[in-house]
Structure 1
Amino acid sequence: MDHLFETRFSELLVTYGEKIALAIICLIVGKIVINLIIGAVGRVKYFNNVDQTAKGYINSFLKIGLWVVLLIIVIQILGVPMASVITVLASAGLAIGLALQGALSNIAGGVMLMIFRPFSVGDYVQASGVEGTVRDITLFYTTLISPDNKRITIPNSQVMNTTVTNLSSEKLRRVDLDFSVAKDETPEKIQSLMLEAIAKTNKVLQDPAPFARLTGGNDKGMNFQARAWCKSSDYWDVYFDLTQNITEAMGENDVKAPAARVIQA
């Protein structure tokens, strides 16, 4: 019995061992070739003229396509008839279709992102409840880097089916800041202090003109809003500098805060 098993095992090893070894070698060499092709494409002069957004998507599409070709070659080396593979795929078509539904939606979403271009690599966007700088757009996913350096991966289909706010697409942005002061302060005084602080803040543009006005209030205090325009790239510098400058100006001029609300026991 043991001799029969050893004989049968030897026959199988002779019959399929060579094919398996050749398939493994092909897989390893194919992986190296794919990396070389991707690298070579990246060095092509014409490809360098393509913008970063499309470049990442094309790289992703090309890489997946090459891997599909490699896997088909490996299957043929193993001696598996393609007709049998297609038959199996057709038999399991419904299950595979359901399994790939999300993947196909992501591919379609990626194509739509390339066509309509709601954002590009390097833009700062808000989408699907998260925000960050666009790192790349691949065949299936869009990757953002959050302000605290977290990597956020969003399926392309989800990006296309949600509201996207591109905070970098326009050259200028407006900084809006709200402040509250005591009820007995003079509105003209507060408005003047805010406008002076805005004028002293670096990177604030004078056209469009800055804005500072009373916007509301209650029995405890008044609400004011300051608005200042700046270049999109300077937004956060202006935001923090303006917050500090207006706060310091009010402190230096003894502007009182709204009265604390008394809670009855």
Structure 2
Amino acid sequence: MDTELLNTDMLNEAQSWILNNQGLLIEYSVNIAAALLTLIIGFMAVGMLTGGLNKVLKARKVDSTISDFVTSLIKYGLLAFVLIAAMSRVGVQTASFVAIVGAAGLAVGLALQGSLSNFAAGVLLIGFRFFKAGDYVEAAGTAGTVHSVQIFTTILLTPDNRMIVVPNAKILNDNIINYSREKTRRIDLVIGVAYSADLKKTKEVLTRIVNADPRILKEPECRVAVNNLGASSVDFIVRPWVQAEDFWTVRFDLLEKIKNELDANGIGIPFPQMDVHLHQKEPQRLKQEVA
């Protein structure tokens, strides 16, 4: 009986509190609904806006490294704005929130110095344009084709289609070699021939091979010359200039043609050799040394 009376009293008190605070509950319900609606619409609007901006930048043929970086930066900035707007709808004081975020940002910034340096490095990489999407680069101890520059990292794709994620700070603090920046490249070959080979004939054969390939540029002129007198070979350098996109195909073809032509002309290509001399000791002397 006492339990039923207690439950009845609690129910009456709850009903009375709801009736007395009906306006406050309605206000909070509306604010919460408005906050949720702000989040949903805001996230959708940010996605559409950044997606449209990315398409416009690409339509204007802006380099994808710049467009991806800019749209990512704008996206996260707008999402933070939407989150603050939603919190203000439920009564959170945005001024106090910004102050708290600023203090927390300072603490997080001290803890995440590496991430902030990666962000700053990303801005510098975009600003100075050391490379763009599609360039083949060597940086931070790795090499690959630039896919995109993100806020904190740069994405590279290797020739065997592996993805490498490199922190921007490591790239900026290391040497950057861009193999795609210039339109032409020089192929550097070292061809070793035997000391018994006719050097004049060898040079003529190498020059003929180079001149017969239409992909090799006439200017700058290809350099064919004796470069070194090695331990077991006379080394020729062959340095033709080609278009950057033809570099590897021409290099592979030249190596194959040079080997075949040198063989056809009786010009030997030596390989490292070692002469081992065995000296037999007299039996009596060997016994004395053993004793």
Output the TM-score relative to the length of structure 1. 0.82
Give the whole-Å Cα distance in 1 for the aligned partners of 2:256 and 2:40: 59
User: RCO higher in 1 or 2 (8 Å CA, sep ≥ 6)?
Assistant: 1
Q: Is 1:67 aligned to residue 70 of structure 2?
A: no
In structure 1, the residue matched to 2:142 is: 130
% identical equivalent positions: 33
Greater CA drift, 152-161 or 47-56? 47-56
Distance 1:146 1:41, change over 3 A: same
Match of 2:260 among 238, 248, 264: 248
Output the TM-score relative to the length of structure 2. 0.75
Q: Is 1:214 aligned to residue 226 of structure 2?
A: yes
Give the whole-Å Cα distance in 1 for the aligned partners of 2:36 and 2:162: 37
Distance 1:121 1:90, change over 3 A: closer
Counterparts of 1:35-46 in structure 2 under 5 Å?
Answer: 35-44=47-56
Greater CA drift, 21-30 or 71-80? 21-30
- In structure 2, the residue corresponding to 1:143 is in which secondary structure? strand
In structure 1, the residue matched to 2:159 is: 147
In structure 1, the residue matched to 2:212 is: 200
- In structure 2, the residue corresponding to 1:154 is in which secondary structure? strand
In structure 1, the residue matched to 2:45 is: 33
- Compute the RMSD of aligned alpha carbons: 3.1
> 1:136 corresponds to which letter in structure 2?
S
Any idea what the Cα deviations from partners look like across 1:62-101, whole Å, max 9, x if unmatched? Answer: 1121222233234334544445544544554553122332
Give the whole-Å Cα distance in 2 for the aligned partners of 1:35 and 1:243: 52
Match of 1:167 among 151, 154, 179: 179
Distance 1:88 1:253, change over 3 A: same
Equivalent pair of 2:39/2:86 in contact (CA under 8 Å)? yes
In structure 2, the residue matched to 1:233 is: 245
Number of equivalent positions: 258
> 2:206 corresponds to which letter in structure 1?
M
Structure 2 residues without counterparts, runs of 5 or longer:
1-6, 19-24, 279-291
Distance 1:43 1:216, change over 3 A: closer
Structure 1 residues without counterparts, runs of 5 or longer:
none
- In structure 2, the residue corresponding to 1:203 is in which secondary structure? coil
- In structure 1, the residue corresponding to 2:220 is in which secondary structure? coil
Distance 1:205 1:115, change over 3 A: same
Greater CA drift, 19-28 or 130-139? 19-28
Counterparts of 1:26-105 in structure 2 under 5 Å?
Answer: 26-44=38-56, 48-77=60-89, 79-86=91-98, 88-89=100-101, 92=104, 95-105=107-117
Distance 1:24 1:254, change over 3 A: farther
Distance 1:19 1:187, change over 3 A: farther
Equivalent pair of 1:201/1:245 in contact (CA under 8 Å)? no
Equivalent pair of 2:54/2:68 in contact (CA under 8 Å)? no
- In structure 2, the residue corresponding to 1:149 is in which secondary structure? coil
Give the whole-Å Cα distance in 1 for the aligned partners of 2:256 and 2:149: 37
Give the whole-Å Cα distance in 1 for the aligned partners of 2:262 and 2:32: 78
Equivalent pair of 1:210/1:229 in contact (CA under 8 Å)? yes
